[in-house]
Amino acid sequence: MNPGILYAFAAFVLWGLFPIYFKTLHQIPALEMLAHRMAWSLVFVIAVLVVRRHWRWLGPTLHDRRLLGRFVASAVLLSANWGIYIWSVNAGHIVEASLGYFINPLINVLFGYAFLRERLRPLQWAAVALATAGVVWLTWQNGAPPWISLALAVTFGGYGLLRKTAQLGALEGLALETVLLFPVAVVYLTIVGLAGASHFTHASRGLQLLLAASGPITAVPLLLFGAAARRIPLSMLGLIQYVTPTLQLLTGVLIYGEPFGAVRAVGYGAIWLALGVYSLEGVRSLVAERERRAA
């Protein structure tokens, strides 16, 4: 089996369990938690680089303005995705957040078509149309678009696209992103600390350790995702990604008791049908490609 598939499954299972972790830290405000994720992620990545003695790539990278610009963009998208997700989980919107990651595979398809010149087959267009109908239904019934879902889908889809086309490996790319995010995190945490509003300093030792663990908890699935994105097609990556929102949805409904009524069921049903069509088309395409190569 392509190791990229295993990396993708591991990353998406870990992300699917994130609501439980963030709910445990609900006493910490979303922005402060985001800043700690940025800071502790860099600490963890530096430790990995030290162990591996892997530094030679850094010098040439810092002198490549085009590459730096690309990773500034990916760092911005990544931090936006983190912040929106943390807030939505602790505000009781786990189910709506899960919808974002159900939509994301189809966003990947559209990004692949728009930016990577990947051709869409008729059934893939049908899947996009069904998903759009589901979002329109939810917008009409709720009086507003599911902005949490859409924001998460677009920011993570954009991040995946940038990492797919990046010239750095998974570890190097994450290291550069966290280096770029670290100064922002330090400035924010310093301001909060000087104002005496730091929740970290007043938290229990257990919560402090959990917050510090956000480094490896954040970095490990990102490293797995980055490795997977460079080894398998973007369309296949989107197919495996269903694992994350499924676990998140089950967590929100079964563990934290978030509502999931008939209105949501219709909208989600259209999106799930779209994903079913898309999955069927993807499997059929893979089988046809294997048969063609074997011929």
- pLDDT digit of tens for each residue in the chain (295 aa)? 578 889 999 999 999 999 999 999 988 999 999 999 999 999 998 998 888 888 888 788 878 888 888 899 999 999 999 999 999 999 999 999 998 888 887 888 888 888 888 888 888 889 889 988 988 898 888 788 899 999 999 998 999 888 877 777 778 888 899 899 999 999 999 999 999 888 988 888 999 999 999 989 988 887 888 788 778 876 677 678 788 888 999 999 999 999 988 888 999 899 899 888 888 887 787 777 777 887 6
Instruction: Please report, to the nearest 10 degrees, the dihedral formed by the alpha carbons of residues 124, 253, 15, 207 taken in order.
Output: 160
Contact 84/152 with Cβ under 8 angstroms? yes
Distances (CA, A) of 241 to 6, 12, 83, 140, 227: 12, 6, 20, 27, 14
* DSSP three-state, residue 15: helix
What's the number of domains the chain is made of?
1
State the residue range of the domain holding 242.
Answer: 3-294
Cα–Cα dist 17/13, whole Å: 7
For 140, 204, 242, the CA distances from 143, given in Å and listed in that order, are 5, 41, 27
pLDDT of residue 234: 66
Q: Which pLDDT does position 1 carry in this prediction? A: 54
> Using CA of residue 159, residue 165, residue 166, residue 171, what is the dihedral sign?
positive
CA dist 237 and 160 (Å) reads 9
Q: pLDDT value at position 141? A: 84
Residue 294: is it exposed, middle or buried by C-beta count within 10 angstroms (0-12/13-18/19+)? exposed
Task: Give Cα 130 distance to the centre of its chain.
Answer: 23
Alpha helix locations (H) across the chain? 3-16, 18-24, 30-52, 58-62, 65-90, 94-115, 122-142, 147-164, 170-194, 199-202, 205-212, 214-229, 234-240, 243-250, 262-294
The letter for the amino acid at 125 is: W
> Which pLDDT score, from 0 to 100, does residue 24 have?
92
